[in-house]
A and B are shown apart, each in its own frame.
Chain A
Amino acid sequence: MTRPLLEARDVRVSFEIRHPSDLPWTPPALLHAVNGISFRLERGQTLGIVGESGCGKSTLARALIRMLPATGSVIWEDGTDLFTLSPRQMLRYRAEMQVIFQDPLASLDPRMTVGEIIAEPLRTHRPRMGATERREKVRAVMERVGLLPNQINRYPHEFSGGQCQRIGIARALVVEPKLLICDEPVSALDVSIQAQVIGLLEELRRDLGLTILFIAHDLSVVKHLSDEVMVLYLGRMMEKAPSSALFSDPRHPYTQALLSAVPIPDPQIERTKRVIALDGELPSPMHPPSGCVFRTRCPRATGLCASPPPEECTSDARHHTLCHFPGPAAELIG
């Protein structure tokens, strides 16, 4: 059996929270931003990660590329655990995994030309490459993402949001990575531009055989692009399933609530459809509910949900749900 490109096992990220009034020897409170996430990312596959703000999506992505201290393990396809590497050893793997950021303009250095920005990964990971060759490569990748190569000497503030995101994509692709981590790459863009950027990502994935970890809070975008989708809530996985199964047959009440909130561009259906409104606010991640973290807002919660945390239950080989009472949505509505 071949290894997956990347396998995350029980990844946890916690932050120490100190109050100014705390004495220096008081142990700091722990905030578990990401709590035991595991997944496998096969070569050429796209995994979508969804969840509301503050559920740990971006934290998970930052932990995977070792921008944050995390525990657990992340196994690369050659069998190395990325979390055990020194920063110097990690450098080789950084070339294999590149990130696209949420805010297209803010992620580009305003004092650098587009050419310099896109060339930065090359200068870091291919230090022996000559200046002419580097420039040729930058031009080629600019053309690949739909930018005019003769704009190589322009500055980021001279481009629109969509073009800036293309520059970000070009910078990620210039070192030919295997894994592309997209941290909400389209949420800061207009809808029409979103479609273009998603289209570009799809095209690149097909042509270059990229593996993509796609983080978003927009379900329709994720549905369009992902092979598999993972739903997070308060740093924990709620449900993970192939995209088609998750959207047609969601089994976790949280996923069902999320899906019912997606607007449908048809007033007739929109008027008659039932929205599962969740009660209450997102609990503080400092004091998560006991047992199942979702129970405080879950329409199906019973006394059982408060004590032991639910086991992962698997309805078929690839559909995992973390719930005591998984079931189809109809049952809930009816």
Chain B
Amino acid sequence: MVIDSQKMQSLAAATAREDIAGRSLWADARRRFLRNKAALFGLLLLVFVVFFALFGNSLARWSNDEIDFAVMGQAAELGGPSLETGHYFGTDDLGRDLFARTVQGTQISLAVGIIGSAIAVVVGTLWGATAGYFGGRIDNLMMRTVDILLAIPYMFVLILLLVMYGRSITMLFAGVGLISWLEMSRIVRGQTLSLKNRDYIEAARAIGVPARTIIRRHILPNLIGVVTVFATLLVPNMILTESFISFLGLGVQEPMTSLGALISEGSGTIAYGTLWQLAFPLLFFVTTLFGFFFVGDGLRDALDPKDR
């Protein structure tokens, strides 16, 4: 009896304690992500690339449009990577510092990838969630619009846009953003359709929560998993699209550059023994893509453990 009453007292004390913090699904996902070695490695690569893009310029001794007249015209002999000249990654044929140009190219490529993906997340999620939640005629109208836009060969349109309105970064962002949300809206709509019939959505409707609030409060938070994964995997695709455009010579304008443009230049001069002009931009390009794909895979495993 004595022991029992002590137990009761300790139980009473335990119940009186302050609020217990719950462990959300996010905390669980974070734990799973941090235990995934490949994903952590990818994250490390990404952090490295981002730091390189943000702070690389303070290490560079040359700016990206400065011409080193000492090596101009003799890039193959004098323009190789060296610490003495300050051209850590060597120079291009015009004698411009490749290190500064790679930093700048990485900045552009990351920006295109992230902005394209951000447009996809905002527009695609809202579009898909609205179509999926309301269903019926609205759904049909919205998704057929997406089908029609997807049927247009976007690369062709993008090239036409760049040719008609001139090559500019804004045009490139607009073009990439215009196409990136279509796939996203389809995925989000599918997910919303399956969420819509869950009991907790029904419960919210029975309570009388307005449709817009249900989308905001219940549908969107439950979509975030899928959307994050798809967005991380979309970034490298956007970078690839931009690189392809730049490879065709339609991307950003000189003296600005992007990884795709640098790779294109490097591959053009590979016959003259200037391998570094291809190798360094390519290294950063591949590292970025690897990083995003690993992180995307890691997020997918962490966010829906049931699908593994």
Q: Which residues of A contact B (CB under 8 A)?
A: 65, 67, 90-91, 94-95, 98-99, 101-103, 106-114, 120-121, 124-125, 148, 150-155, 157-158, 168, 171
Give A108's nearest chain B residue, CB to CB.
B200
Given contacts A94-B206, A109-B204, list 18 more A-B pairs with CB under 8 A. A90-B208, A101-B199, A101-B202, A106-B199, A107-B200, A107-B203, A109-B221, A111-B25, A113-B24, A120-B204, A124-B207, A124-B209, A153-B19, A153-B20, A153-B22, A154-B22, A157-B25, A158-B23
Does B17 lie at the interface of the complex (its beta carbon under 8 Å from any beta carbon of A)? yes
B205 CB contact (under 8 Å) in A67, A112, A114, A168: A67
B18 CB contact (under 8 Å) in A90, A98, A102, A150: A150
A125 CB contact (under 8 Å) in B24, B208, B213: B208
A114 to B19, CA, bound (A): 12
Contacts of B218 in A (CB 8 A): 109
Interface size on B, residues (CB 8 A): 27
- Binary interface profile of B, 24-57, with partner A (CB < 8 Å = 1, else 0)? 1100000000000000000000000000000000
A108 to B213, CA, bound (A): 16
Contact present for B209 and A109 (CB under 8 Å)? no
Contacts of A106 in B (CB 8 A): 198-200
Give B220's nearest chain A residue, CB to CB.
A111
Contacts of B10 in A (CB 8 A): none
Contact present for A67 and B202 (CB under 8 Å)? yes
Contact present for B199 and A155 (CB under 8 Å)? no
**In the complex with contacts A106-B198, A107-B200, A111-B222, A158-B207 CB distance below 8 A:** no
Contacts of A152 in B (CB 8 A): 19
B208 CB contact (under 8 Å) in A91, A111, A114, A148: A91
**In the complex with contacts A150-B19, A150-B20, A154-B20, A110-B25 CB distance below 8 A:** yes
**In the complex with contacts A90-B208, A99-B203, A155-B25 CB distance below 8 A:** yes
Does B15 lie at the interface of the complex (its beta carbon under 8 Å from any beta carbon of A)? yes
Contacts of B198 in A (CB 8 A): 106
Contacts of A110 in B (CB 8 A): 25, 200, 222
Contact present for B24 and A155 (CB under 8 Å)? yes
Contacts of A155 in B (CB 8 A): 22-25
Contact present for B199 and A107 (CB under 8 Å)? yes
A150 to B12, CA, bound (A): 12
Contact present for A158 and B22 (CB under 8 Å)? yes
**5 A-B residue pairs with CB within 8 Å:** A90-B208, A107-B199, A111-B222, A150-B15, A150-B20
Contacts of B203 in A (CB 8 A): 99, 101, 107-108, 168, 171
Does B271 lie at the interface of the complex (its beta carbon under 8 Å from any beta carbon of A)? no
Contacts of A94 in B (CB 8 A): 206-208
Give A150's nearest chain B residue, CB to CB.
B19
B15 CB contact (under 8 Å) in A121, A148, A154: A148
Give B213's nearest chain A residue, CB to CB.
A124
Q: Min CB distance, A166 to chain B, in Å? A: 15
Contact present for A153 and B21 (CB under 8 Å)? yes
Contacts of B222 in A (CB 8 A): 109-111
- Binary interface profile of B, 139-161, with partner A (CB < 8 Å = 1, else 0)? 00000000000000000000000
A101 to B198, CA, bound (A): 12
Q: Min CB distance, B198 to chain A, in Å? A: 6
Contacts of A171 in B (CB 8 A): 203, 207
Contacts of B18 in A (CB 8 A): 150
Q: Min CB distance, B21 to chain A, in Å? A: 6
**In the complex with contacts A107-B199, A155-B24, A150-B17 CB distance below 8 A:** yes
- Binary interface profile of B, 99-120, with partner A (CB < 8 Å = 1, else 0)? 0000000000000000000000
Q: Min CB distance, B78 to chain A, in Å? A: 60
A101 to B207, CA, bound (A): 12
A65 to B204, CA, bound (A): 12
Contact present for A99 and B206 (CB under 8 Å)? yes
Contact present for A109 and B200 (CB under 8 Å)? yes
A153 to B24, CA, bound (A): 9
